């Protein structure tokens, strides 16, 4: 979690320095969802992310060098610098894409779970999306099909309270946009504290067991908070100060630190290690060249690395 936080803090700085083209969407405050879930998955599992997906990719094992280089548009990036922040992908890690069209990846993730059924492999698909995504038709269509076919898939709604600049409570008629709709698909309502890494790990472990035993999908709503703005240029000034202050007291890293009660020296050493890892990763990424014009013709269709 600390590495992810340090990675994204550094990224924000790179933006301010004008080094990143395109947009980025940070997940400060949401690290426990990514790391708790990653801890519960198996190596053969498959993960689908959104444009707010740095934390999921890093938690799944993407080296920070490859993520930095991708976001900086360098050859050493996980997609050779051609995808950028919103499309971090690495099939060798089971990361089958980060998708910028809200909800578009959910039916694709259902297809991945169906492929596991057809191929007889023992992979479980895990699909992340936001609270606002539950207002998109493909969410409901995909949930329905996955439930009817009892596919091995875990849907994880990261309820960070906002859909861009809109509080989610203004645009859905239920309090919990995912958990309150689970029964419509014959699924259990699973609501977890998304800032409690152990709670997330436990919920995803249960869901993985259900999927692996052939008992179909789970829909988990992890309640969390987006500490940053929606995207790089958004200072988030529409968020009420008291709300921001409340969620700062529920920062997932601070909560876990407190529960571990580590000796101060150990924590400080950990913090220094994290800073050094991220600084070194950035140095590697910055040393990587930008792709040349020949990159236009590679990895377009079937020539992509497998």
Kindly list the residues in this chain that would bind ligand TPP in the complex (CB under 6 A).
50, 52, 100-102, 129-133, 160, 162-164, 226
Please identify, using beta-carbon distances, which residue of 151 and 190 lies nearer to Mg ion: 190
Could you give the CA distance from residue 61 to residue 55 in angstroms, rounded to a whole number?
10
For 226, the 3-state DSSP assignment is: coil
Beta carbon of residue 50, minimum distance to ligand TPP (angstroms, whole number):
6
Residue for token digits 């606002």? 132
| Residue 208 interacts with, from Mg ion, ligand TPP, none (CB under 5-8 Å by kind) | none
Exposure class string for 154-165: b at 16+ Cβ within 10 A, else e: bbbbbbbbbbee
Task: Name which of 15 and 51 has its Cβ closer to Mg ion.
Answer: 51
Q: Which does 133 bind (CB under 5 to 8 A by kind): ligand TPP, Mg ion, none?
A: ligand TPP
First to last CA, the chain: 29
User: What residues pair up with 166 in beta bridges, in sequence order?
Assistant: 163
**C-alpha span between 200 and 38 (Å, rounded):** 10
Q: Which stretch binds Mg ion (CB under 5 A): 34-42, 155-163, 194-202, 291-299?
A: 155-163
Using CB distances below 5 to 8 A depending on partner kind, what does residue 247 bind out of ligand TPP, Mg ion, none?
Answer: none
Report helix, strand or coil for 243.
Answer: helix
Binding mask 159-188 for Mg ion (x = CB under 5 A): -x----------------------------
Report the candidate in 74, 79, 76, 45 with the shortest Cα–Cα distance to residue 59. Answer: 45
Q: Nearer Cβ to ligand TPP, position 24 or 116?
A: 24
SS3 state of residue 221: strand
Choice between 135 and 299, CB closer to ligand TPP: 135
How many angstroms separate the CA atoms of 187 and 184, rounded?
7
Q: By C-beta, is 180 or 257 nearer to ligand TPP?
A: 180
* Residue 214 CB contacts under 8 Å (≥ 6 apart), including other chains: 150, 152
Binding residues for Mg ion, rule CB under 5 A, total 4
Q: Counting contacts by CB under 5 A, is residue 130 touching Mg ion?
A: yes
Q: Candidates 89-97, 129-137, 146-154, 245-253 — which segment interacts with Mg ion by CB under 5 A?
A: 129-137
Q: Which residue has the tokens 């992810």?
A: 4
The residue behind tokens 């400080």 is 268
Nearest residue to Mg ion, scored by beta-carbon proximity: 130
Minimum distance from residue 285 beta carbon to Mg ion (Å): 28
Cβ of residue 70: shortest distance to Mg ion, in angstroms? 23
Judged by beta carbon, residue 19 or residue 100, the one nearer ligand TPP is 100
* Residue 132 DSSP one-character state: G
Q: Which residues pair with 222 in a beta bridge?
A: 158, 192
Q: Which residue ranges make up the site for Mg ion (CB under 5 A)?
A: 130-132, 160
């Amino acid at each position: 979690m600390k590495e992810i936080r340090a990675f994204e803090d550094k990224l924000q700085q790179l933006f301010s320095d004008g080094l990143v083209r395109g947009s980025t969407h940070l997940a400060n405050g949401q690290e426990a969802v990514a790391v708790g879930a990653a801890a519960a998955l198996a190596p053969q599992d498959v993960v689908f992310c959104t444009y707010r997906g740095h934390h999921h990719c890093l938690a799944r094992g993407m080296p920070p060098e490859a993520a930095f280089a991708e976001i900086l548009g360098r050859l050493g990036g996980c997609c050779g610098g051609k995808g950028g922040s919103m499309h971090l992908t690495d099939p060798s890690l089971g990361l089958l894409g980060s998708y910028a069209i809200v909800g578009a990846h959910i039916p694709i993730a259902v297809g991945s779970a169906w492929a596991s059924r057809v191929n007889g492999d023992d992979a479980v698909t895990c699909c992340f999306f936001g609270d606002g995504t539950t207002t998109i038709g493909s969410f409901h269509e995909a949930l329905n099909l996955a439930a009817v076919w009892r596919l091995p898939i875990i849907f994880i709604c990261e309820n960070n309270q906002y859909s861009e600049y809109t509080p989610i409570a203004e645009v859905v008629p239920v309090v919990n946009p995912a958990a309150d709709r689970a029964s419509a698909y014959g699924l259990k309502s699973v609501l977890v504290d998304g800032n409690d890494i152990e709670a997330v790990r436990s919920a995803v472990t249960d869901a993985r067991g259900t999927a692996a035993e052939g008992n179909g999908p789970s829909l988990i709503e992890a309640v969390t908070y987006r500490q940053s703005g929606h995207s790089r240029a958004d200072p988030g000034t529409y968020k009420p100060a008291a709300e921001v202050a409340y969620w700062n007291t529920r920062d997932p890293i601070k909560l876990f630190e407190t529960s571990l009660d580590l000796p101060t020296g150990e924590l400080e050493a950990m913090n220094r290690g994290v800073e050094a890892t991220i600084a070194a990763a950035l140095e590697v990424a910055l040393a990587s060249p930008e792709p040349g014009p020949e990159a236009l013709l590679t990895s377009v269709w079937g020539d992509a690395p497998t």
